[in-house]
A and B are shown apart, each in its own frame.
Chain A
Amino acid sequence: MAFIDIKDVCFSYDLEAGVKKDVLHHVSLQVERGEFVALLGHNGCGKSTLSKLFNGMLTAGSGQVLIDGLDAGLEENQLEVRRRVGLVLQNPDNQLVAGIVEEDVAFGPENLGVPPEEIRQRVDAALKAVDMYHYREHAPHKLSGGQKQRVAIAGIIAMETSCIVLDEPTAMLDPRGREEVMETITRLNKEKGITIVLITHYMDEAVRAGRVVVMDDGRILMDGAPREVFGQVERLKRHDLDVPQATELCYRLQAAGVNLPAIPLSVEECVGMFREMLGGRADERMDS
């Protein structure tokens, strides 16, 4: 059974009396436990709405959202669903509630009624998991953006949710802060098996996921491994989406008649490929 199982879900917002805006059209999506899924699409494509269905912040108009087998649309399941799926949003300043980092991280488990001695352990472990343990007695508002987001993530880890949904968590961060957050979520996924759903506009972040889902106009347009999805450069561009610069460069080099062994997804991959191509004598190695 898939951890997140969305079956034929429709959703619309009420704009005013009698006027509805359809946001999701018969969307079905399964996410297995332990997957790292990047969700892409331009503004207004429905991806944020979809992510809010995952932890019961919104309820589907029709169809069904099952989280770990629980129907997220049922009122009585809400608490259980939120114990399983935590949400991290774009602006770190809107998510931190306490005056000290460790109190902020303790807020979630306290609300769940976890006994105090266990809260202590969970908070310490969560702060270590995001590499913010040294800052446990600091004031959140004095941290950098990347550090604040890591504290927000720690708050969710302390609730021991098995899935974290992040809605553009790096949009407001500088390059170093972005890297800190990306490293943290990649590690949580690999080492702790936490299911990750990452909504992002940054293609270089999406290529680090195991699977990329592209949404367009309330529907799922593409769903596959990063290499499959980003290989379709023209199709992504037609839908106003981007590809990483390394991918675009090599795709267009190939289109111009330069024979490349592969289309890379990241700067590192691209440089590695060029190094191999240019390392030996070019005329020796291109005849395979």
Chain B
Amino acid sequence: MSEWILETKNLTYQYSAGTPFEKTAVEDVSIRIGKGEFIGVIGHTGSGKSTLIQLLNGLLRPTRGQVLLNGRDIWQEPKKIRAVRFQVGMVFQYPEYQLFEETVLKDLMFGPKNMGLSDEEAAARAREAAAFTGLRPELLEKSPFELSGGEKRRAAIAGVIAMDPEVLILDEPTAGLDPRGRDVLLAQITQYHKKRGNTVLLVSHSMEDIGRTAGRLLVMDHSRAAMLAPTKEVFAKGEELEKMGLRVPQITKIVQELRALGCPVDPSTLTVDDALKQLIPYFKQKLPGKEAGPHAV
């Protein structure tokens, strides 16, 4: 029994292998992801992160190397690869386009029923998943097409959560949502992760979203895993990230510049709240004598 839920060994994937159009999308990636971790996956377009996550749940078969789930090669018995896809659940970009059933409830039951669960069990899973994503119970009897954009997105995520995967992979779950919708969805994913204690991989272009959710970050660059380290360590390397077409959260950039100006602020500060805790006392001491107005925090 391994403490690593997911592990890759020299994982390599080539599109059109053996033809003149051969292109290596994932090259020699060896990473380990622990049970219950919340991992952020970043990398610019074409860095290989989409290919990597498809390898992790068995949608693509490696050209070379291995993907181990709970210590077992997922391709050991290719006929059982479907079971892997239930254990490693994947929420694709814009998943709301994949809703298709007559009612939201039926849609959420589709995955569990495919796994062989009875109607009652599937319905129970569906209701639980709906609650996790903040989908109001009265919406379950509606047609998916009557839901708003944000509700559809949550229904689609709930459909994957209903399969109760050990690993949940979300590809850009907040793309196109407004700031409020984004905050609510991220909070629900974080809560789900805390309560279920399962492993979550969040792929995102928003460094601000990643900064406030992930414990460790996997940085993909030119088909390789360039870094896999605690979020704070990764974001402390602003210059390296910029060379890879990435950046740090805005607030992190600001504190890093402040530090260069001699302010003793933690260069890996990831949220405005954390920055304020350090900067309010600093500025008050640095710029005394002129107490500003009667405002309070």
Contact = CB atoms under 8 A, between A and B. Distances in A.
Interface in B14-29: none
Interface stretch (B99-107, B125-133, B244-252): B244-252
A245 B45 CA distance: 25
Given A252-B276, A259-B290, A271 B257 contact: yes
A253 B280 contact: yes
Interface residues on A, range: 35 or more
Given A253-B283, A254-B295, A256-B276, A176 B245 contact: yes
A42 B179 CA distance: 7
Interface string B254-295: 100110011100000000100110011001101111111101
Interface residues of B, number: 52
A178 to B, nearest CB: 8
Nearest to B297: A256
Given A245-B250, A258-B284, A279 B261 contact: yes
Interface string A82-105: 000000001100000000000000
B78 interface: no
A46 interface: no
Contact of B292 (A241, A242, A254, A270): A254
A177 B275 CA distance: 28
Given A245-B250, A245-B254, A42 B178 contact: yes
B73 interface: no
Contact of A43 (B44, B149, B207, B251): B149
A144 B295 CA distance: 47
B205 interface: yes
B215 interface: no
Given A176-B44, A254-B295, A90 B287 contact: no
A268 to B, nearest CB: 9
A141 to B, nearest CB: 12
Contacts of A274: 254, 257-258, 261, 263
Interface in B31-64: 43-46
Contact of B93 (A172, A248, A256, A270): A172
Given A43-B149, A43-B178, A174-B45, A256 B257 contact: no
A168 B149 CA distance: 15
B175 to A, nearest CB: 5
B175 A171 contact: yes
A175 B205 contact: yes
A277 interface: yes
A201 B177 contact: yes
Contact of B179 (A176, A201, A278, A279): A201
Contact of B280 (A174, A177, A240, A258): A258
Contacts of A286: 287, 289-290
B254 A270 contact: yes
Given A253-B279, A257-B284, A245 B272 contact: yes
A146 interface: yes
A114 B128 CA distance: 59
Contacts of B290: 259, 286-287
Interface in A15-70: 41-44
Contacts of B148: 43-44
A146 B45 CA distance: 9
A258 B251 contact: no
Contact of A145 (B45, B150, B250, B295): B45
A215 to B, nearest CB: 11
A169 to B, nearest CB: 11
A271 B254 contact: yes
B75 to A, nearest CB: 29
A148 B295 CA distance: 48
Contacts of A253: 276, 279-280, 283
A173 B45 contact: yes
A143 B291 CA distance: 55
A245 B250 CA distance: 6
A188 interface: no
Given A146-B45, A175-B245, A255-B297, A249 B276 contact: yes
B278 to A, nearest CB: 11
Contact of B175 (A172, A246, A249, A275): A172
Contacts of B1: none
B250 A259 contact: no
Contacts of B208: 245
A118 interface: no
Interface string B158-187: 000000000000001001111111100000
Which of B286, B288, B296 has the most C-beta atoms of chain A within 10 angstroms of its own C-beta?
Answer: B286
Contact of A249 (B94, B178, B245, B254): B254
Contacts of B263: 274, 278
Given A144-B44, A255-B295, 7 more contacts: A43-B181, A172-B175, A177-B45, A201-B179, A240-B179, A271-B253, A274-B261
